[in-house]
Amino acid sequence: MKIYSIASGSSGNLYAIKSGEDIILIEAGIPPTEINTELWDRGLRLSDIDDCFITHEHMDHFHSAEYLIKHRTNIYLPRTEAIEDSLKNVTQQDRVIYLEDKQTITVGNFKATALKLEHDDVDILGYLILHKPSDKRLFYATDTAYIKYNPKRVNYFMIEVNYQRKYLEESVREGDMSRENMRRVMRSHMGLNAALKFFESTDLSQAEEIWIIHTSGRNANRLEIRNIIQSETGIPTFIG
């Protein structure tokens, strides 16, 4: 399984997952004008991708959902009023598949289970994805204050580490962030300490790679986070 981190962060999120000849997308949070170019630069083509899993309605994850549908890509995501309203004029409604917590769906050679996460008051899903021919599993969770699951036999983890508490405090001291906004970030996103607790309580015996995603440019040090997680887990860790 190969992970392509195309965009990651508050300005937009898009990842491609390839195993053999099978490819799926996770998130659709960059402008339509950029999708084909970004895929092409990595030797991928949208015409070869049938399915995209989206976590929630915020634009840095949902921006190009309609564009993907129009280009014959199925999208899988939680049902919310905002999403239904945004997609109400889409003619190919059969390409919009709403998922619920704990629901499992098979798409081609992939089998995905949706898992409810915690982000503000927005319905959001993480995904446990199995590529059946290779028997490789990927666990994806972002924009969540914490992860309440302990997935088994996972080979690849894609986990948000949005902030480090010391840099949030620094932002408040320097006037870049209010104390209330700091509390909102901590209610809505996962920090380094929560990520370390998740990995500590999770069976990593079959883990091959950890990907750190959706990291803040102001409130975290990506290299520091990568080094800490790799040191604590012993698993090769990459920055998305």
Summarised one tens digit per residue, pLDDT across range 189-231 is 999 999 999 999 999 999 999 999 999 999 999 999 999 999 9
Residue 21 DSSP SS3 = coil
What is the extent of the structural domain holding 226?
2-239
Q: Decide if 44 contacts 18 (C-beta within 8 A).
A: yes
Residue 173: burial class (beta carbons within 10 Å; 0-12, 13-18, 19+): exposed
pLDDT, tens only, 45-82: 999 999 999 999 999 999 999 999 999 999 999 999 99
Closest Cα partner for 177 from 188, 169, 187? 169
How far is residue 208 CA from its own chain's centroid?
A: 18
Sheet holding 237-239, edge to edge: 104-107, 110-116, 125-131, 136-141, 156-160, 209-213, 237-239
- Residues 136 and 129: their CA atoms lie apart, in Å, by 8
When divided into structural domains, the chain yields a total of 1
CATH number at residue 217: 3.60.15.10
Write down the pTM of the prediction. 0.97
% the chain with pLDDT above 90: 98
Question: Does pLDDT of 114 surpass 80?
Answer: yes
Extract the runs of DSSP E, i.e. beta strands, from 79-134.
Answer: 96-99, 104-107, 110-116, 125-131
- Residues 73 and 49: their CA atoms lie apart, in Å, by 7
Question: Does pLDDT of 168 surpass 80?
Answer: yes
